[in-house]
Structure 1
Amino acid sequence: MSDPEALEDVPLPERRQRARGHDAARSAIFGNIAERRLPGAILLHGPQGIGKATFAFEIAAAILAATGDEDAARVEEQVAAMSHPNLFLLRRRPKDGKGYYTVIRVEDVREVRDSLHHTRGRAGQRVAIIDSIDDCNPSAANALLKTLEEPPADTTFLLVSHRPGQLLPTIKSRCHNLALRPIADTDVAAVLMEQGGAIDEAALQRAVALAGGRPRRAFETLALDADSALGALQAWLADPLRHPAGVGLQLADALGADAQSTELSFAREMLDDWMADEARNAAMQPGARMRLASANDLWDKAHALLAEADSINLDMKQTLAAIFNAIRKHVSLTVPVSAEPR
């Protein structure tokens, strides 16, 4: 099955089946597989682009090999070709014409559910991967919940989620939760090099630096122009007060020129990461209630501005300029007294 989120010239997750990093999670899950203590459903959640879907297929292949009657190499070949009769995959489906549906529909969930109730095609456990459950519309999510509440025998569900906070609490309560985090820079570099082809050392280092532990973001960086404004944004976010106020306006002009560009989408992810890290760091710092409150207000304001810009097609340059100004204001209000703004 094709993947609506696939990047050009990057193998689909089912073809990779080897996720870099995530060693602690791998050890725990593979231990359960070896001991035949498989949960009915596993929720793999974390930031987008860190290899969750690839890891899901790695887990699936391990389950099918451990519980079936074929060796691991043969199982992995079938998983890569999506031909193993005990493996089921639910993604957003292609339309009859061009493109993909924007959501996973209730009829898609029912189709997989009905298939799981048929006689299995081979000995061993069955595995159903939902990539990603975030794409389920409300009806599909409720249909999936009913399936998790009354699951088919000898079936493990692997649910991939980039935004677990938005899932139905009842779905999360039915799953063994496995939180995954961005991987090490060395692992990101290894993923890029595994793809083959010559990658200039400077381009490799730039991609790794901008990736923030997300291999998908690194691949996206390689597809961008070398003079992309993303590097300047990264430098600005490292210390907004070090730069003149006009730099924020320059960044807004460069990044907001095309509201549909990959560069802007990338920049929005970087801003999300920065604001989330700022709130997380403030929450962990004793006596930083003002900084945490300011970080939370910043998050709410930035997302409200972006949502408004998206819904009524406002000028993205002005939206970004307002967000950069709010970030600068937040930092200036919460910077230690000993650190003078520059």
Structure 2
Amino acid sequence: MTDPNALDDVLAPERRQKARGHDAARTAITSQITDRRLPGAILLHGPMGIGKATFAFELAAAILTATGDEPAHRVEEQVAALSHPNIFLLRRRPKDAKSYYTVIRVEDIRSLRDRLHHTRGRAGHRVAIIDSIDDCNPSAANALLKTLEEPPADTTFLLVSHRPGQLLPTIKSRCHNLALRPVAADEVRAILSEHDATLAADELDRAIALSGGRPRRAFETLALGKDSALGALQTWLSNPGEHAPGVAFKLAETLGADAQSPELSFAREMLDDWIADEARNAAMQPGARMRLASANELWDKAHSLLADADAINLDMKQTLIAIFDAIRKHVSTTIPISAETQ
């Protein structure tokens, strides 16, 4: 099954299978696989682009090898080709030759459930991967919940989620939760070098700096090219209060020129990460309540502005200017955490 989120010329998760980093999560689940203490469902959650789907296929190959009767290399070949009879994959399905459905539908879940109740094709456990469960519409999520409540025998569901907070609590309660985090810079460098050994050092450094520990974002950086405004946005976000208002205006003008551009999508993720880091850092510091409240307010405002712009096709340039102004206000009116805690 094709991946609706695939990047050009980048190996699909099922073909890569070996996820760099995530050693703590790997150690935690490997012992369960070895001891045949497999949970009925595992929720792999964390930021988008850190290798969760790749890790899911790595786990799937390990489970099929441990419980089946074929050597690891043979299982891995079949998983890469999605030809192993005991592996089942559900993604958003193609709508036509040029597009995909925007959600995983209830009929997709029912089809998966029916296939899982057929006689298995080979000895060993079965593995069903849903990439991602966030794509399930409400009816599909409820149908999946019923399946998790009465799962087929000897079957493990691997559920990939970028936004676990939005999942049904009853689904999360049925899963063994495995939190994955952004990977180290040297792991991102290794992934990029494996992909293209000819990459220049400056290209690698730029992609790694903008990746934030997300290999997918590093690949997106390479695709955007050296002249992208993302580097300028990163510089501005490093200290918004130090730059003249005209810098933010120019950034908004460049990034907001095309509301559908990959560059804008990337920039929105960077803004999300910056605000989330502000809130996270404030929450971890005693006495930083004002900064935390301001960061939470900033989060709500930025998301509201972007949602309105998407819903009624507002000028993205003006939306970004408003967000940049709100960030500057947050920085200028909150006491630095270092000062608050003294």
1:114-263 paired onto structure 2 within 5 Å? 114-263=114-263
CA contact (8 A) 2:13 2:57 kept: yes
What secondary structure is seen at the aligned counterpart in 2 of 1:204?
helix
What secondary structure is seen at the aligned counterpart in 2 of 1:18?
coil
Match of 2:267 in 1: 267
Q: Kindly indicate whether residue 27 of structure 2 is the aligned counterpart of residue 27 of structure 1.
A: yes
Give distance in 1, aligned partners of 2:287 and 2:64.
50
Q: Kindly indicate whether residue 102 of structure 2 is the aligned counterpart of residue 102 of structure 1.
A: yes
CA deviation map 1:168-223 (0-9, x unaligned): 00000000011111000000011111113521111111000000000000000001
CA drift of 1:42 comes to 0.3
What secondary structure is seen at the aligned counterpart in 2 of 1:247?
helix
Q: Kindly indicate whether residue 36 of structure 2 is the aligned counterpart of residue 2 of structure 1.
A: no
Q: Which amino acid aligns with 1:60?
A: A
CA drift of 1:336 comes to 3.3
Q: CA RMSD in A?
A: 1.1
Give distance in 1, aligned partners of 2:158 and 2:225.
36
CA drift of 1:335 comes to 3.3
Q: Give the paired residue count.
A: 339
CA contact (8 A) 2:17 2:55 kept: yes
Match of 2:295 in 1: 295
Taking structure 2 as the reference length, what is the TM-score of the superposition?
0.98
CA drift of 1:260 comes to 0.5
CA drift of 1:227 comes to 1.5
Mark the CA change 1:100 to 1:167 in structure 2 (over 3 Å): closer, same or farther.
same
CA contact (8 A) 2:291 2:337 kept: no
| Higher mean displacement: 99-108 or 196-205 | 196-205
Match of 1:111 in 2: 111
Taking structure 1 as the reference length, what is the TM-score of the superposition?
0.98
CA deviation map 1:247-280 (0-9, x unaligned): 1111101111110100000000000000111001
Give distance in 2, aligned partners of 1:162 and 1:35.
29
Q: Which amino acid aligns with 2:152?
A: P
Match of 1:282 in 2: 282
Which runs of 4 or more aligned residues in structure 1 lie more than 2 Å from their structure 2 counterparts after TM superposition?
A: 335-339
Give distance in 1, aligned partners of 2:138 and 2:267.
29
Give distance in 1, aligned partners of 2:70 and 2:17.
17
| Higher mean displacement: 224-233 or 140-149 | 224-233
Which consecutive residues of structure 2, in runs of 5 or more, have no partner in the other structure?
A: none
Which consecutive residues of structure 1, in runs of 5 or more, have no partner in the other structure?
A: none
CA drift of 1:338 comes to 9.0
CA deviation map 1:256-310 (0-9, x unaligned): 1110100000000000000111001111110111111100000000000000000
